[in-house]
Amino acid sequence: MNAKNKKYDAIVIGGGHNGLTAAAYLAKAGKQVLVLERRHLLGGAAVTEELYPGFKYTVYSYVVSLLPPQIIRELELPKHGLHIMPLEGSFTPMEDGNYFANYPDEDDTLDEVRRHSRRDAAIYPVFSNMMYDLAQAVKPILSMVPPDPANPGLSGLKTLSAFGSHFKSLGKEKFYWLTKVMTMSAYDFLSEWFETDVLIATIAQVGIIGTFLGPKSPGTAYVLLHYYLGELDGATSSWGIQKGGTGGVSEAIASAARSYGAEIRCNAPVEQVIVKNGQAVGVVLENGDEIYAKTIISGCDPKVTFRKFVEEKDLPSDLVEAIDNFKFRGSSGKVNLALDALPDFPAMQDKALIRAMQEICPSVDYLEKAYDDAKYGSFSKRPLLGCVIPSAVDPTMAPPGKHVMSIFVQYASYDMPAHGNRDQQRDAFGKAVIDTLEEFSPNIRDLILHKQVITPWDIEKVVGITEGNISHGELMIDQLFFMRPAPGYSKYRTPIRNYYQCGSGTHPGGGIMGTPGRLAAAEILKDGN
């Protein structure tokens, strides 16, 4: 039987890590699964590419923490190449030459906080415990299908009442904090605890990642918590890097999927989902090939899932409206550098911090000003930079003595004004990044052998994510849980029978996490597909 006529149980559109995760679970359950990826390589926003000979870029996503232990265990990912190395914490150089460091060792971090404020040092452990407790409280929600309070159904009612008692068991104080974290700005939330500006800035910048909001915008405290929920081997909120770049995570999941029998095809862009009598039955590739399957699963973002792959007439109008209003607003870019040697940060007293994340967010005002630039449709003149030098930990990334630096940048607004063309704007954006970095690492410019600059449009064009939003849509409270991607359509199903969604635009959201893929697969199997 040739591949064209082969009948599959399931087709997954998109070989991002969530699509691959869904495919792996379905194949493990004995299904005949086909993954169709548009690009020549797997991984979507989690890919590694050697764009300059000998130097591997972890092109988009670069640090790992949210991938839960269940998925690692259930798919036996270490056997397939998952190898995540912890980073040394974080390092924030300040404009006056001072710095703040966050170490893996708690006592070291406390000493650092004490250097800035004795008062903050006294409260820091209390804060850490509170965040830990909140993370533990929210974590169970992340690994389950969110019940819809408006229309819970029997099992949903059970889950809801389990939630109820779960939250009651938190106790009053934690419950209040939980409410605050869901609604406040990262800055306000943190200011209730700390007085040290650089400490607040270092924590608060996490709250703006992937959003088009500033640290003082309400809702950013939740984003902070979202990124706090990760762990490395039980160490909460620790971040690491995958050997060979984040593409290695996607490759490991793909290898697991193949080991269970899944078939994976690259260079296979899907044009449309074939819907007959309100039921998905197959896909049409851009080259016109049709492939049929009992179940079709989109690992793409909600806009692509609902507004590209299927026709408006097959969807209820409330969903169409919700998706059209879904906020993507890509705000992050990336600059990847090939370096001739390790860069020097004069503020870095402890040289081990070269293996940490170097965060350019010297103060809260700095972040808020960076946001101001972007608010009116531009990029930040002095952006937030999250730098990591993977080659300082993983020598496979660059030739001996040479390095790669991965710089996550905010803000780059998707709607940059029409002056100049995109190439010119990209160049200007890249220049702003290097100019800014140079303030804190004066020799950086001289070390650059090659540079890749990525704006939100590049992410949209290359990875296929609408407006280039890193999370397939902002992680705002009105776009989370039973409202992700739209109220009533949060359980990985769609109004079209046998058509499912499993990308980061579904609960619990973005990041290298795999949970959307895992939960979607479980729902599909539950439906008997």
Partner 1 sequence: MRLSPFNPRTSELCEPYNWSLWQNWLLADMYAPDHIQEYYAIRSACGVFDMSPIPKYHIHGPDAVRYLDRIVTQDVSRCAVGQVLYTAWCDDEGKIMDDGILFRLGEESFRLTTGDPWLFWLEDNTANLNVVIEDVTDLGTLALQGPFSRDLLKTLSKADLDNLRYFHMIEAELAGIPVEISRTGYTGDLGYEIWVQPHQAVPLWDAIFEAGQDYSLVPFGDYALEMARIEAGLLLIDADFYSSKRVVHDFEKSSPLELGIGWAVKMNKDYFIGQKALKAELARGLAWETVGLEIDLNSLEAVYAEFGMPLYLPYEAWMEAVPVYSDGQQIGKATSGTWSPVLKKYIAIARLRPQFTSPGTRVNMEVTIDAQRKQTQATVVKMPFFNPSRKTSLGKV
334 vs 402, which CB is nearer to ligand FAD?
A: 334
Partner in contact with 200, chosen from ligand FAD, partner 1, none, beta carbon below 5 to 8 Å by kind: none
Site membership for ligand FAD, residue 470 (CB under 6 A): yes
What residues does 35 pair with on adjacent strands?
Answer: 12, 264
Site membership for partner 1, residue 104 (CB under 8 A): yes
CA dihedral (18, 22, 25, 31) positive or negative? negative
39 vs 403, which CB is nearer to ligand FAD?
A: 39
Partner in contact with 17, chosen from ligand FAD, partner 1, none, beta carbon below 5 to 8 Å by kind: ligand FAD
Site membership for partner 1, residue 326 (CB under 8 A): no
Q: Under a CB-based contact definition with an 8 Å cutoff, are residues 416 and 425 in contact?
A: yes
Region from 9-17, 218-226, 410-418, 422-430 binding ligand FAD, contact rule CB under 6 A: 9-17
Among 8, 12, 19, 322, interactor with ligand FAD by CB under 6 A: 19
C-alpha–C-alpha distance, residues 278 and 213, integer Å:
39
Residue environment code for 72-108, b if the CB has 16+ CB neighbours within 10 A, otherwise e: bebbebeebbbbbebbbbbbbbbeeeebbbbbeeeee
Query: x-or-dash pattern for ligand FAD, window 269-308, by CB under 6 A?
Result: xx----------------------------xx---x----
C-alpha–C-alpha distance, residues 64 and 239, integer Å:
6
What's phi and psi for 313, nearest 5 deg? -65, -20
Site membership for partner 1, residue 86 (CB under 8 A): yes
What's phi and psi for 229, nearest 5 deg? -80, -10
Size of the site for partner 1 (CB under 8 A): 28
Site membership for partner 1, residue 105 (CB under 8 A): yes
401's tokens? 């003595």
Nearest to 299 by CA among 80, 480, 33: 33
SS3 (DSSP) at 445? helix
Site membership for partner 1, residue 77 (CB under 8 A): yes
The least distance separating ligand FAD from the CB of residue 526, rounded to whole angstroms, comes to: 21
Among 53, 288, 400, 528, interactor with partner 1 by CB under 8 A: 400
Site membership for ligand FAD, residue 384 (CB under 6 A): no
Site membership for partner 1, residue 243 (CB under 8 A): yes
- The DSSP element (H or E) to which 447 belongs, if any, is helix 444-447
Site membership for ligand FAD, residue 512 (CB under 6 A): yes
Partner in contact with 61, chosen from partner 1, ligand FAD, none, beta carbon below 5 to 8 Å by kind: ligand FAD
Chain mean position to CA 479: 15
C-alpha–C-alpha distance, residues 338 and 126, integer Å:
41
Q: Under a CB-based contact definition with an 8 Å cutoff, are residues 57 and 394 in contact?
A: no
Region from 105-113, 147-155, 255-263, 511-519 binding partner 1, contact rule CB under 8 A: 105-113
Return the beta strands (E) in 82-134 as ranges. 84-86, 90-93, 99-102
The total of other beta-carbon atoms located within 10 Å of residue 157's CB is 12
Partner in contact with 37, chosen from ligand FAD, partner 1, none, beta carbon below 5 to 8 Å by kind: ligand FAD
C-alpha–C-alpha distance, residues 505 and 484, integer Å:
7
Residues that bind ligand FAD (CB under 6 A): 13-19, 36-39, 44-46, 60-64, 66, 269-270, 299-300, 304, 332, 334, 408, 459, 463-465, 470-472, 503-504, 510-512
Residues of the shown chain interacting with partner 1 in the complex, contacts defined by CB under 8 A: 69, 72-73, 77-78, 82-83, 85-86, 88, 103-105, 107-108, 136, 233-234, 243, 352, 355, 391-395, 400-401
